[in-house]
């Protein structure tokens, strides 16, 4: 079973004559203990064209030390990575292979570098004996193992300072680590403060090393240095798309590339069930599909329409999980707000059982979609779109002119839908019309967001105001969906001999919420459709 560890570290240049300074002079450090020397032997794996290295990922099989096994590292921020560990085995564990699928596709990962390190370890402890950080002086020998570079070697010495768990920075040691400023900048409590305290502590260690003449390393990882020193330059799979600067083609393809990168990068996050990953991946699919529709004068529909259908499929599979998550949160909040005397029957229990079943089914559906050949085919087609973009005549025109016209067209499309919906009486027909208006609002917002680098402030303001409108339309649609779920829960409760009273109370409240949201729409639409704003998009 794989486990995840957040790794926060700093690397420094060193050589065989480098001596560590007295680190007890770092605020918060009471003792430095010598933990001895460990011999580590790691083989790093990648595709033959080094796709993982190009994206900053590392996959290794390591023996020696306290954490022998398979390690897969994802970049989180500079100096911060999530390390996913699996037990030592002869072959790549399936759990880790799945997390690589969006990047390696059907390509086999092979050994590319072997690193053998002699690691001289020190522990930095506070006055209570709590581990604050581990400092190691690593003497590294690297040897390339991949075809075409096999036998190339490099050697160096470096210092690595790795932060202990955040828990070490939740109490008095944090203050000793001079974390006040970082804490204030981070805001919030708990984990956020601990992370800020940890970063501040690493800064303090870094200052002490700098005074001793030890400087930060230029490479982000041992693998990156080994590849660089043996002549490898990993090239991102999704290289910058072609197109003359300032043209509509260049502007649209830059946005398209951004969304494709998000889909690829979020695949493993969805598999790991990271917070908000499903939602973000679904939005990237929608943004990309929307760009194909909005900018069809730039990209040929014969190519993008089939891709749009596949993106709709993927977003739909992700939507089951996302909608279940949103609905459950909304229902829990509504139940929590009901006064005790109105809670009749096992309301919380029924809601919990109902959500658990739906959530498990939705999770299985998402993983099945990501594991499918259909998903791999979609990713491959998106790669081809960037390497050989189906540009139309308008792609060579001035970006401001083409993108502004496209945004205005989506604005007019939204206007027709919202005005029709607002003219209807309350009821199912208006609910459907408002839902269609919501979809048009999303498309108009995404169109403006894609145009922001080109059109600047007018597009940013338009996107902000349409987002406010979209949010209200979304609240209304969520209320419609919630009422359908409440009716289902009431039927189940009645069939089980339970009181359906509370579900009825909640249904009535949701109906009132829907009317309130609908009543707020005219003012929001007036702000998003003002003639001055539309005129600004024409300049």
* Predicted model pTM: 0.85
Residue in this structure with the two tokens 């987002």, named with its chain if needed: 467
Lowest average pLDDT, out of 14-28, 124-138, 519-533, goes to 519-533
pLDDT value at position 235? Answer: 79
Task: Indicate the pLDDT class of residue 537, thresholds 50, 70 and 90.
Answer: low
Q: CA-CA distance, 532 to 471, in Å (whole number)?
A: 23
Q: Do the Cβ atoms of 148 and 79 come closer than 8 Å?
A: no
Q: CA-CA distance, 485 to 495, in Å (whole number)?
A: 15
Residue 190 pLDDT more than 60? no
Q: CA-CA distance, 535 to 462, in Å (whole number)?
A: 11
H or E stretch at 211: helix 191-211
Task: Indicate the pLDDT class of residue 101, thresholds 50, 70 and 90.
Answer: very high
Left (φ > 0), alpha (ψ -120 to 50) or beta: where does 269 sit? alpha
Quick one: what percent of the chain has pLDDT higher than 90? Answer: 66
Q: CA-CA distance, 238 to 323, in Å (whole number)?
A: 30
Supply the angle between the helices 347-370 and 248-271 in degrees, to the nearest 10.
120
Task: Indicate the pLDDT class of residue 194, thresholds 50, 70 and 90.
Answer: confident
Exposure letters 284-319 (e unless 16+ CB within 10 A, then b)? bbbbbbbbbbbbbbbbeeebbeebbebbebbbebbb
Quick one: what percent of the chain has pLDDT higher than 70? Answer: 91
As a whole number, mean pLDDT of residues 30-53 equals 95
pLDDT value at position 359? Answer: 80
Chain mean pLDDT for the chain? 89
Residue 208 pLDDT more than 70? yes
pLDDT value at position 234? Answer: 86
Is residue 75 exposed (0-12), middle (13-18) or buried (19+ Cβ within 10 Å)?
middle
Task: Indicate the pLDDT class of residue 240, thresholds 50, 70 and 90.
Answer: low
pLDDT value at position 530? Answer: 65
Q: Residue 121: beta bridge partners?
A: 36, 136
Residue in this structure with the two tokens 């690593």, named with its chain if needed: 138
Residue 166 pLDDT more than 80? no
Q: Rounded to 5 degrees, what are φ and ψ at 361?
A: -65, -40
pLDDT value at position 238? Answer: 62
pLDDT value at position 181? Answer: 39
Q: Which of the pair, 322 or 83, is modelled with greater confidence?
A: 83
pLDDT value at position 538? Answer: 60
pLDDT value at position 182? Answer: 41
pLDDT value at position 195? Answer: 76
Q: CA-CA distance, 366 to 250, in Å (whole number)?
A: 33
pLDDT value at position 470? Answer: 93
pLDDT tens digits, residue range 335-387?
999 998 898 989 989 888 888 877 888 888 999 999 999 999 999 999 999 98
Lowest average pLDDT, out of 375-379, 399-403, 476-480, goes to 476-480
Residue 506 pLDDT more than 80? yes
pLDDT value at position 236? Answer: 72
pLDDT value at position 319? Answer: 87
Residue 517 pLDDT more than 90? no
pLDDT tens digits, residue range 407-453?
999 999 999 999 999 999 988 999 999 999 999 999 999 999 999 99
Q: Which of the pair, 165 or 13, is modelled with greater confidence?
A: 13
Q: Which of the pair, 503 or 355, is modelled with greater confidence?
A: 503
Q: Do the Cβ atoms of 418 and 470 come closer than 8 Å?
A: no
pLDDT value at position 174? Answer: 38
pLDDT value at position 363? Answer: 87
pLDDT value at position 226? Answer: 94
User: What SS3 class is residue 487?
Assistant: helix
pLDDT value at position 534? Answer: 60
Task: Indicate the pLDDT class of residue 198, thresholds 50, 70 and 90.
Answer: confident
Of 480, 498, 505, the closest CA to residue 337 belongs to: 505
Of 311, 189, 304, 291, the closest CA to residue 248 belongs to: 291
Q: Do the Cβ atoms of 376 and 105 come closer than 8 Å?
A: yes
pLDDT value at position 535? Answer: 61
pLDDT value at position 177? Answer: 41
As a whole number, mean pLDDT of residues 33-60 equals 95
The number of C-alpha atoms within 13 Å of 377 and in the hemisphere containing its C-beta is 10
Residue 172 pLDDT more than 90? no
């Amino acid at each position: 079973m794989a486990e995840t560890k957040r790794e926060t570290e700093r690397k420094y240049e060193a050589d065989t004559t480098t001596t560590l300074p007295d680190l007890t002079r770092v605020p918060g450090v009471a003792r430095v203990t010598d933990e001895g020397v460990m011999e580590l032997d790691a083989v790093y794996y990648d595709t033959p064209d080094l796709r993982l290295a190009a994206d900053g990922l590392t996959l290794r099989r390591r023996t020696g030390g306290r954490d022998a096994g398979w390690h897969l590292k994802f970049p989180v921020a500079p100096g911060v990575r999530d390390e996913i560990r699996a037990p030592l085995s002869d072959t790549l564990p399936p759990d880790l292979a799945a997390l690589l699928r969006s990047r390696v596709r059907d390509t086999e990962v092979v050994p590319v570098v072997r690193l053998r390190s002699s690691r001289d370890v020190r522990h930095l402890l506070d006055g209570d004996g709590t581990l604050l950080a581990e400092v190691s002086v690593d003497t590294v020998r690297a040897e390339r193992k991949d075809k075409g570079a096999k036998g190339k070697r490099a050697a160096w010495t470096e210092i690595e300072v790795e932060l202990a768990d955040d828990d070490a920075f939740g109490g008095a040691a944090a203050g000793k680590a001079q974390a006040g400023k970082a804490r204030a900048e981070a805001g919030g409590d708990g984990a956020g403060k601990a992370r800020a305290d940890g970063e501040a502590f690493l800064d303090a260690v870094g200052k002490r090393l700098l005074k001793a003449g030890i400087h930060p390393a230029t490479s982000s990882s041992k693998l990156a240095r080994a590849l660089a020193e043996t002549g490898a330059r990993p090239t991102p799979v999704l290289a910058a798309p072609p197109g003359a600067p300032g043209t509509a083609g260049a502007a649209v393809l830059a946005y398209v590339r951004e969304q494709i990168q998000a889909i690829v990068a979020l695949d493993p996050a969805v598999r790991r069930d990271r917070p908000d990953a499903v939602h973000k991946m679904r939005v990237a699919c929608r943004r990309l599909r929307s760009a194909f529709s909005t900018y069809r004068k730039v990209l040929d529909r014969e190519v993008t329409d089939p891709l749009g259908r596949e993106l709709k499929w993927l977003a739909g599979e992700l939507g089951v999980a996302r909608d279940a998550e949103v609905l459950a949160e909304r229902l829990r909040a509504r139940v929590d707000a009901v006064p005790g005397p109105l809670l009749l029957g096992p309301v919380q229990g029924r809601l919990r059982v109902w959500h658990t079943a739906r959530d498990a089914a939705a999770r299985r559906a998402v993983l099945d979609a990501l594991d499918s050949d259909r998903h791999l085919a979609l990713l491959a087609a998106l790669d081809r779109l960037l390497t050989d973009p189906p540009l139309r005549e308008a792609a060579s025109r001035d970006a401001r002119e083409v993108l502004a016209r496209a945004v205005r067209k989506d604005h007019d499309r939204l206007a027709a839908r919202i005005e029709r919906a607002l003219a209807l009486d309350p009821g199912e027909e208006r609910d459907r019309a408002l839902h269609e208006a919501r979809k048009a609002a999303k498309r108009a917002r995404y169109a403006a967001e894609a145009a922001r680098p080109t059109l600047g402030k007018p597009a940013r303001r338009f996107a902000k105001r349409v987002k406010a409108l979209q949010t209200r339309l979304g609240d209304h649609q969520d209320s419609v969906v919630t009422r359908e779920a409440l009716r289902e829960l009431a039927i189940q409760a009645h069939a089980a001999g339970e009181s359906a009273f509370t579900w009825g109370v909640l249904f009535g409240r949701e109906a009132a919420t829907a009317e309130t949201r609908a009543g707020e729409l005219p003012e929001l639409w007036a702000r998003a459709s003002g003639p001055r704003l539309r005129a600004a998009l024409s300049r």
